[in-house]
Amino acid sequence: MTINRKHYRNFRDYSAIVIGSALMGLGIGVFLVDAHVVPGGVSGLSMAVHYATGGKVPVGTMMWIMNLPLFVWGVRELGKTFGLRTFVGFTCSSLFVDFFRGDLPLVKGWALQNTAAIRNLMEQDFLFLVLWGAVLLGLGLGVIFKFKGTTGGSDIVAAVAHKRWGARPGHVFMVVDFVVISIAGVILSFQPAGSLARPAMVLTLYAFFLLFISAYLVDIIIDGFNYARAAIIISDKNQAIGERIMHEMDRGATALKGRGLYSNADKEVLLTVVTRKEIGVLQEIAHEEDPKAFIITHDVHEVLGEGFKRRR
C-alpha cells in the first residue's frame, strides 16, 4: 500500500512538472520572445543569444544546452538533490518553448506567436501581452516548485553557491537575474534600427516589471501569501524523521515533551520550521517513515535565525 501511494505521488508530481513546463513554455515562447522582453535566469540568457544570432538559434534548444552543464555541476556538488526532477523540468520547459514556436521538426510552421491574436496584442496592447507572459511564466514556475521540481539554471547556481560559500539563495537569484536582463538590454541596444517596436531601455524596464510579476505569482501558487511554515509532527518514529530533516533538508528540529491525554502515555512532539518550497518534502519524509504520522502545519510570517532571513 505504501509503495502504491509513493508511485501515485511520483506520477502526480511529474505530471504537474510537465504541465508547469508547458505553461512556462507558452509564456516564454509565444508571448515574450518576439516582444523582446527578457525574464531572468537561463531562459533570459537563451533569449539574448537568440537575438544576438539574428534568431538562428532556437530559444528552447539554447535553454537545454545551457542547462546541461549546470545540471552536471549540480549533481556533482549536491548529489541527488538535483536529480531526475531537475532534468525533467528543464528538458520539458525547453521542448515546450520550441514546440509552441514551431521550431521542432514535427511542428515546423506552427508558430503560435504569429497568430492574429498575438500580433494584435503586440501592436495594440503591448502591456497586456507582457502581463500574459508574466502570468503564464509565474504560474508555470509556481506549479513546478510546488511539486518539488525545478527548471535548473539559477536554481542550481543558487544551491551550489549556498553550499560552497554560504551565499543566500535570494541574493544569488537577484544578482543572476539583474545581470541577465542587463546583458539582454545591451544586446537589444545593438539590434538594427527598426527591428524593435520600442527602445531597448523601455524593453529592459518591461523585463524588470515581468520579473516582479512572475516572482509574485510563484509565491502565491506555492503557498499563498505566507512566508514560511511551522510543522508539528506526532509520531512513534520521531527520531528517524528528525534525522532525515536535519541531514536531507538541512533544517533544525526540536523534540518537545508531550503526553497523550487519551492514552496517558508520554511521547515526543517534533517541531520544525521550513520554507514554503520545502513543506511538500517534509510531509513526504514524515509519511515515508511513518504513514500514520500526525502532522500539523501553520503559517509563519517572521522567522529569525540561521537559514532564514528577516522578512521586509
pLDDT tens-place string over residues 131-144 = 999 999 989 988 88
Q: In the predicted model, what is the mean pLDDT of residues 259-265?
A: 83
pLDDT tens-place string over residues 150-203 = 888 887 887 777 777 777 665 777 788 889 999 999 998 888 867 787 889 999
In the block, cell 515546450 appears at 96
Alpha-carbon distance of 13 to 262, in angstroms, equals 37
CATH assignment, 228-300? 3.30.70.120
Nearest to 140 by CA among 214, 85, 67, 201: 214
Strand order in the sheet with 265-275: 254-260, 265-275, 228-234, 294-300
Alpha-carbon distance of 241 to 251, in angstroms, equals 12
Going from N- to C-terminal start, the domains of the chain cover 2-223, 228-300
pLDDT tens-place string over residues 49-98 = 999 998 899 999 999 999 999 888 888 887 765 678 889 999 999 999 99
Nearest to 148 by CA among 41, 27, 16, 28: 16
Alpha-carbon distance of 177 to 39, in angstroms, equals 8
Query: Is the alpha carbon torsion for 68, 73, 74, 78 positive or negative?
Result: positive
pTM metric for this prediction:
0.71
DSSP string, 89-110: HHHHHHHHHHHHHT-SGGGTT-
pLDDT tens-place string over residues 102-112 = 998 887 778 89
Question: What percent of the chain stands above pLDDT 90?
Answer: 42
pLDDT tens-place string over residues 31-47 = 999 999 999 889 999 99
Alpha-carbon distance of 53 to 59, in angstroms, equals 11
Contact between residue 63 and residue 42 where contact means Cβ atoms under 8 Å apart = yes
Alpha-carbon distance of 95 to 247, in angstroms, equals 34
Measured CA to CA in angstroms, residue 215 lies from 76, 137, 201 at distances of: 28, 9, 21
Q: What is the pLDDT of residue 91?
A: 95
- Give residue 232's identity as a one-letter amino acid code: I
Q: What is the pLDDT of residue 276?
A: 76
pLDDT tens-place string over residues 211-242 = 888 877 876 776 555 567 889 999 989 999 99
Whether pLDDT at 312 is above 60:
no
